Amino acid sequence: MKDFFQLLKRNKKLVIGLMSGTSVDGIDAAIVEVTGHSLETEVDLIAFETFPFPTGVPQRILALCQPDTGRVDDICEMNFYIGHLFAEAVKHILQKSGMHTGEIDLIGSHGQTIHHLPKDTNTACNVSRYPSTLQIGEPAVIAHETGIPTIADFRVADMAAGGQGAPLVSYPDYLLFRDSTKTVGLLNIGGIANLTVLPANGTFDSVCAADTGPGNMCIDAVVSEITEGAEHYDKNGTRAAQGTPYQLLINEWLKHPFFHLFPPKTTGREMFGHTYAMECLAACRKHKLPDNDCIATLTELTVQTIADYIARFITGQNPIDTLYVSGGGVHNRTIMRRLGELLANTAVESVDNSGILADAKEAIAFAILANETLHGNAGNLPSATGASVRKVLGKFVLP
């Protein structure tokens, strides 16, 4: 293991970023060469893989997210088991890349969120008397099994300072994508969709970010229910493309209080999870919509909530010139087509076009955040999360 002070002196480091999102479809692992830190940060992606969870694990994780099924003994056990799976992902990507643990300086692990109860001033959306968040995937297990120093649990320092604990990718977004002449948007469509907006020639304080609402989460749940588990997502958005959205229902769903909250704001399965998706599906069936129309309607909800957020909170101040899209939603051709149609004055394109691999973007972000923590640099942006101050994020665990 490299000495802590040796690491600080290295201008270039190899960092592995680990990420599992609200879609619970696997562990993203990225080996990233990080040069410099803070505003001098540059990254080079060495390798990336997504490792699916073993059979039955996504269902066990999703059960933890439900208040009526998330038992404390299961949470305790899964915290360590998910840590073991994250460590296995590290070993697998090193093996595939022909590298060994001694070459890696640091791991940055987001973990797996199982519950997120952010601060909320709107009583209609308020779900917690005391704002809190919980990510599992024990970093002590990752560090021990890999022999690599690990930084994890990034959200809690921001929440301790009164923030939402997310989106934390806004800081890496600023480091990598800020532009002196154009306003850039970074839209990640995972289980939940979140958007970072970087005004042209802007400072840290000018960055705006928030969750816009459901991303793939409701679509995936409805596809799985309709196909009785034979399909878990709408591949390429094909089913949605074959259906017709039912705007009357979408208009009703758009009345949800979350969509009217001012940023910064975050959400998750607690608000837009399986229960919400099944309520939406029941409404579709009440109107006797064919299966693909149901999927098209949920898909259109995702697109319209993103476009509506931009129209309400962004366009008047900083019209977005280029919107880079990442996450699973970037592969949904119906989502991408409709975003292009609704955001006619914005260039909507995959973040691949910027030189950053779309599927790897969030794992890269947590490699960057780990490097910032190592150097004692704050990793949150209060304008994005609502925190009272900037904070150094994460907890450092030695092997």
Q: Tell whether the model's pLDDT for residue 172 goes beyond 60.
A: yes
Q: Which pLDDT score, from 0 to 100, does residue 349 have?
A: 98
Model pLDDT, residue 123: 40
Strands (DSSP E) found in the chain: 12-20, 27-35, 42-51, 106-117, 132-136, 150-152, 184-189, 192-198, 208-214, 322-326, 347-350, 395-397
CA distance 46 to 33: 7
Residue 1: band (very low, low, confident or very high) from pLDDT cuts 50, 70, 90: low
pLDDT at 25 over 90: no
Residue 369 has pLDDT above 70, yes or no: yes
Length of the chain: 399
pLDDT tens for residues 48-105?
Answer: 999 999 999 988 988 888 777 768 899 999 999 999 999 999 999 999 999 999 999 9
pLDDT of 121 > 60? The answer is no
User: In the predicted model, is pLDDT for residue 129 greater than 80?
Assistant: no
CATH numeric code, 4-166+360-397: 3.30.420.40
Which class is domain 170-354?
alpha beta
35: pLDDT strictly greater than 50: yes
Neighbours of 179 (CB within 10 A): 14
Among 21-30, 31-40, 172-181, 253-262, which stretch is predicted with the lowest mean pLDDT?
A: 21-30
Q: What is the pLDDT of residues 300-316, one digit of tens each?
A: 999 999 999 999 999 88
Tens of pLDDT, residues 227-247:
999 999 999 999 999 999 999
CATH 3.30.420.40 in the chain, residue ranges: 4-166+360-397, 170-354
Q: Does residue 330 have a pLDDT over 90?
A: yes
Taking the C-alpha atoms of residue 167 and residue 148, their distance in angstroms, rounded to an integer, is 26
Q: What DSSP line would sit under 216-234, residue for residue?
A: SHHHHHHHHHHTTTS-SS-
Q: Is residue 163 predicted with pLDDT exceeding 60?
A: yes
Contact 363, 89 (CB under 8 A): no
Q: What are phi and psi of 36, to 5 degrees?
A: 70, -165
| Residue-level pLDDT at 70 | 64
Three-state DSSP class for residue 144 = helix
Cβ count within 10 A of residue 212: 25
- What is this structure's pTM? 0.92
Q: Is the confidence at residue 127, as pLDDT, over 60?
A: no
**CA-angle at 290, arms to 289 and 296, nearest 5°:** 85
Torsion angles phi and psi, residue 127, rounded to 5? -115, 0
Please, what is the Cα angle at 173 between 167 and 176, to 5 degrees? 165
pLDDT at 118 over 90: no
Encode burial over 308-342: b for 16+ CB neighbours within 10 A, e otherwise. bbbeebbeeebbbebbbbbbbbbbbebbbebbeeb
| CA atoms of 229 and 322, how far apart (whole Å) | 37
Identify the pLDDT of residue 327. 93
Query: Do 107 and 18 meet the contact criterion of CB atoms below 8 Å apart?
Result: yes
Instruction: Assess whether pLDDT exceeds 80 at residue 367.
Output: yes
* pLDDT score for 67: 74
Residues of the chain with pLDDT > 70: what percent? 96
Nearest to 364 by CA among 375, 351, 350: 351
The type of residue at 252 is E
Does residue 109 contact residue 89 with C-beta atoms inside 8 Å?
no
The mean pLDDT value for 343-365 works out to 96
Mean pLDDT of 215-223: 97
What's the maximum distance between 2 C-alpha atoms anywhere in the chain? 65
> What confidence score (pLDDT) does residue 217 get?
94
